[in-house]
């Protein structure tokens, strides 16, 4: 963590503010013109108020950096100093210039302060696949996008607050994602998405989210990027996290002006997004190309997910499949689960397979009758 230095002008006099950080304890001391100005910040403290020539300022710890602003109370309570006695015209001009400079600092400080009090509202996707927080009820939209030459149906949930934009988007991939290829799949999609936005990836970092593979990223968007009717008027910065669970890929991201230093809300939004831990691992062999399911009638089935399926890794010796044809089941890779016709969780784009060809490791939803839960899996013989 590096030290920070600011030059602050109060009443026409410049002051040097320095933050020194102890690399061992992470304690941060603050000095004004070489003198200790406030009690040091402990490693678990985020802010400290201090006086600079009588003017109240607020020092904030933001991740591995610091921000120095006029204290919000100084603005909200309209604190003003008593007017000085009449001075010469030259000195009067200096005071006016200092006042305008301080007013600019107040505006910058209040701009950041307003994003520390975002009215977050909890949000859960209708299928229970993720939870998040938005500053208002998010808009919902489904669009088809061309990314890296493939057409994808993207489900978007988004909202705005002041000048900041927040979004959670997801799509169902056309391939099975396993640990061995998850990073390359996410990187390929992220590169294509950044190109489609008209930007470039400024940084990316391998991470995890609920034990699911993830990538944290930043994308730089130049002025003029975007569709014809939505071109950016300024340079912008997209910050977010990409993660994949099963065959569903999620993009959780925010967009702010590049010159906008207020990012407390960005961190709060990204930290609020969560998805369930990964289910049983899928395999490439379990992928089924046919995704066109027939419409089904809904049934009043409680959304539980208990399983009595035998261990798929154990051979089912002595078991004979019933004489009738194997019924069709509907696969939900995002939850490593399968359903039957009539289940309210079935959607038209789910894969259909005979129950004896269901993938190993997929568990039955509560709508699946006992007979289909224990229906033997027909193993492929190696030639």
The CATH number for 163's domain is: 3.40.1000.10
Number of domains in the chain: 3
So what's the pLDDT on residue 163? 81
So what's the pLDDT on residue 314? 43
Q: Is 246 helix (H, G, I), strand (E, B) or coil?
A: coil
DSSP 3-state percent helix, strand, coil across the chain (nearest 5):
20, 35, 45
Tens of each residue's pLDDT in the chain, 383 residues? 447 888 888 877 888 889 888 888 888 888 898 888 888 888 888 888 888 888 888 888 887 788 887 765 554 444 444 444 454 445 445 554 444 444 443 344 444 456 667 889 999 998 889 999 999 999 999 888 766 556 778 899 999 888 889 999 998 876 667 777 788 889 988 898 888 888 899 999 999 998 899 999 999 989 888 765 667 788 889 999 999 998 899 999 998 888 777 678 898 999 999 999 887 554 444 433 333 333 333 333 334 333 444 444 343 444 566 778 889 999 988 777 888 988 888 888 889 999 888 888 787 887 889 888 888 887 655 54
Q: How far apart are CA 127 and CA 230, in angstroms?
A: 31
So what's the pLDDT on residue 124? 93
Residues 24 and 99 in one domain: yes
Instruction: Read off the pTM.
Output: 0.48
The burial class, CB within 10 Å (0-12 / 13-18 / 19+), for 226 is: middle
**Nearest to 349, CA basis, from 268, 207, 212, 247:** 247
Domain boundary among 228, 246, 271: 271
So what's the pLDDT on residue 241? 95
Residues 264 and 297 in one domain: no
Domain boundary among 50, 83, 114: 114
**Cα dist. 332→174, 301, 344, 351 in Å?**
13, 16, 13, 8
Angle at 93 between CA 90 and CA 94, to 5 degrees: 90
Residues 364 and 383 in one domain: yes
So what's the pLDDT on residue 114? 62
Whichever domain contains 48, its CATH number is 2.40.128.180
Residues 245 and 130 in one domain: yes
- Which helix H or strand E contains 24, and what residues bound it? none
Residues 153 and 267 in one domain: yes
So what's the pLDDT on residue 24? 84
Domain boundary among 228, 244, 271: 271
Residues 254 and 357 in one domain: no
Domain that holds residue 59: 4-114
Residues 88 and 190 in one domain: no
So what's the pLDDT on residue 280? 58
74 and 10 in contact (C-beta within 8 Å)?
no
The burial class, CB within 10 Å (0-12 / 13-18 / 19+), for 289 is: exposed
So what's the pLDDT on residue 381? 53
Residues 248 and 377 in one domain: no
351 and 247 in contact (C-beta within 8 Å)?
no
Residues 243 and 285 in one domain: no
Residues 247 and 146 in one domain: yes
Residues 175 and 208 in one domain: yes
> How many beta carbons lie within 10 A of that of residue 77, not counting itself?
10
Residues 146 and 264 in one domain: yes
């Amino acid at each position: 963590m590096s030290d920070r230095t600011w030059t602050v002008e109060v009443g026409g006099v410049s002051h040097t503010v320095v933050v020194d950080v102890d690399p061992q304890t992470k304690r941060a001391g603050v000095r004004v013109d070489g003198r200790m100005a406030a009690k040091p910040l402990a490693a678990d403290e985020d802010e400290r108020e201090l006086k600079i020539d009588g003017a109240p300022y607020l020092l904030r710890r933001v991740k591995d950096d610091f921000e120095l602003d006029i204290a919000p109370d100084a603005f909200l309570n309209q604190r003003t100093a008593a007017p000085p006695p009449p001075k010469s015209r030259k000195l009067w001009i200096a005071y006016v210039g200092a006042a305008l400079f301080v007013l600019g600092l107040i505006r910058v400080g209040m701009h950041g302060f307003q994003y520390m009090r975002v009215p977050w509202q909890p949000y859960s996707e209708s299928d229970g696949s993720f939870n998040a927080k938005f500053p208002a009820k998010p808009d919902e939209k489904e669009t088809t996008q061309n990314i890296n030459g493939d057409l994808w149906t993207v489900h978007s949930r988004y909202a705005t607050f002041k000048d900041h934009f927040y979004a959670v988007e997801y799509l169902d991939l056309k391939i099975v994602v396993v640990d061995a290829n998850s990073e390359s799949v996410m990187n390929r999609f992220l590169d294509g998405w950044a190109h489609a936005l008209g930007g470039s990836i400024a940084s990316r970092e391998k991470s995890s989210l609920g034990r699911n593979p993830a990538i944290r990223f930043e994308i730089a968007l130049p002025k003029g990027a975007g569709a014809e009717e939505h071109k950016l008027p300024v340079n912008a910065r997209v910050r977010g996290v990409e993660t994949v669970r099963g065959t569903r890929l999620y993009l959780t991201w925010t967009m702010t002006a590049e010159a906008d230093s207020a990012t407390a809300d960005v961190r709060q939004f990204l930290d609020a997004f969560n998805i369930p831990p990964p289910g049983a691992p899928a395999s490439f062999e379990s992928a089924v190309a046919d995704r066109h399911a027939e419409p089904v009638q809904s049934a009043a089935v409680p959304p539980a997910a208990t399983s009595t399926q035998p261990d798929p890794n154990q051979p089912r010796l002595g078991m004979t499949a019933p004489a009738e044809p194997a019924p069709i089941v509907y696969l939900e890779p995002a939850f490593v689960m399968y359903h039957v016709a009539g289940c309210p969780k079935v959607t038209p784009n789910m894969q259909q397979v005979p129950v004896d060809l269901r993938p190993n490791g997929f568990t039955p939803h509560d709508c699946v009758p006992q007979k289909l839960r224990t229906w033997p899996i027909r193993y492929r013989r190696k030639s």
